[in-house]
Amino acid sequence: MRNNFIKTLILVSLIVGNLQHLIAQTNWRFVVVGDTHVGASDTIAEMIPYMLSDSLDFVVVSGDLAEGGLGTPGAQLLSELEHWKTIFTPIYNAGIPIYGIRGNHEDDANNNINIWNNAFSGSYAFPQNGPSGETNLTYSVTHKNAKLILLDVYKNIHEINQTWLDQELNTNTSRHLFVFGHEAAFKVFHADCLDDSVSARNTFWNSLKSAGARVYFCGHDHFLDAALVDDGDGNTQNDIYQYLVGTGGGWLMSQYSNYNGDNGPFSPNRVFHEMEYGYSIVEINGDSSNDCDVTIQWKKRVINPVDSSSQYVMSDHVIQYSVCSVSENPEIKKEKIQISPNPVGSAFFIEGVENEFISICDLSGKQMKQVCVSNNWIDVSDLQSGLYFIRTKQGVMRFVKN
């Protein structure tokens, strides 16, 4: 009897262990980086071994793969793109797809579209499902429970093909939606960006919101900059992150603005900024339609003081969000929560929450404190001024701390 009991425990333990292993395997990842500028820099080559160790499904490079530039001869651009492919050979050889789009440094070179299509042909070609005239430049990819949309912004300079994009968004059935372009939608450093046509930019941004996108990845500026763009409707769950990761090897830019372009009705709020090389890892917590959580981490270059070698390590710049709405989660009650006052001084009163723990997080999703709601008054005198989120079983609320 005792031996049978022990055998049963061992069997249950093995089954649970295998289930946990299978569950852990459903998490999947991809890398985003831009502005590698091969031809002037081989910095991206340092990152490749680290990417290979990150268990990636694919890599996205958001423009300016080559140095190229205004008036660059086509032969030179082709040589730089061929060298770029050579640097990425370990990724290709590992069977990891690479998806790229043009930046201004490709667009400015002579005969650039023909050169681009020459370099990225055959086994190197990108998906051929883009709009007429933009094949191999603009395209979409469906992978597991996500749809990726990669947009060329130079066929019609500083604008995207909205008609084609709308078709892709309207027919999307994937749980997660990730959109990529070279230029920022809201100016950070370069004045030439999607706000050159504010009306078109606003249409673009609102279409992403309507489709449930939560992040737009871009480059162009050579630093890391993440902003949560407030659309003014009071609902934080449909605000979109502009995640600028032009950190693949181009010269680092020390100057940046406080989003002083034409932002229209939107308000970009900086989450973090860093002038360093590196890449971002996007992790989805599962590959089913019920897996809603996304974590975006920043892996940056750190110089070893002993031998001056470069290492790429995970930083504390993290963004987390969920694409599941309150109504979709059966565990979330529908009672509306309210806090007052808002903006908040040293404390606020919360209604609709009783005898549960709530988390107070900063813009990046980092938990600043966890509080058990017992008397409904929450002390936040220890928080610095800024924008915060409250996560409860009922949903998410936003407040401003004075």
Residue 58 has a pLDDT of 98
Q: Distance (Å, rounded) from C-alpha 311 to C-alpha 372?
A: 41
Residue 236 has a pLDDT of 80
In the chain, where are the structural domains located?
Answer: 26-324, 338-401
Q: Distance (Å, rounded) from C-alpha 200 to C-alpha 212?
A: 19
Q: Helices 198-211 and 162-170: crossing angle, nearest 10°?
A: 10
206-to-152, 210, 228, 243, 368 alpha-carbon distances in Å: 18, 6, 14, 17, 31
Residue 401 has a pLDDT of 85
Residue 395 has a pLDDT of 64
User: How many C-beta atoms lie closer than 10 Å to residue 44's C-beta?
Assistant: 24
Residue 173 has a pLDDT of 94
Architecture of the 338-401 domain: Sandwich (2.60)
Residue 130 has a pLDDT of 97
Beta strands 240-245 and 215-218, pairing class: parallel
Q: Helices 112-119 and 74-87: crossing angle, nearest 10°?
A: 30
Hey, is 161 helix, strand or coil?
coil
| pTM reported for the whole predicted model | 0.79
Residue 364 has a pLDDT of 63
Sign of CA dihedral 363, 367, 373, 376: negative
Take residue 349 and report the two structure tokens written for it. Answer: 């009163």
- Tens of pLDDT, residues 319-362: 999 998 644 443 333 346 788 888 889 998 888 887 777 888 88
Contact predicate 182/104, CB 8 Å: yes
Q: Distance (Å, rounded) from C-alpha 395 to C-alpha 317?
A: 24
Q: Helices 74-87 and 44-52: crossing angle, nearest 10°?
A: 30
Q: Distance (Å, rounded) from C-alpha 245 to C-alpha 227?
A: 12
Q: Distance (Å, rounded) from C-alpha 153 to C-alpha 201?
A: 11
Percent helix, strand and coil across the chain, each to the nearest 5: 25, 30, 45
Take residue 351 and report the two structure tokens written for it. Answer: 């209604």
Residue 355 has a pLDDT of 76
Residue 253 DSSP one-character state: P
Which residues of the chain fall short of a pLDDT of 50? 2, 5-25, 326-335
| Domain spanning 26-324: CATH 1.10.150.530 | no
Residue 20 has a pLDDT of 43
Hey, is 266 helix, strand or coil?
coil
Residue 336 has a pLDDT of 60
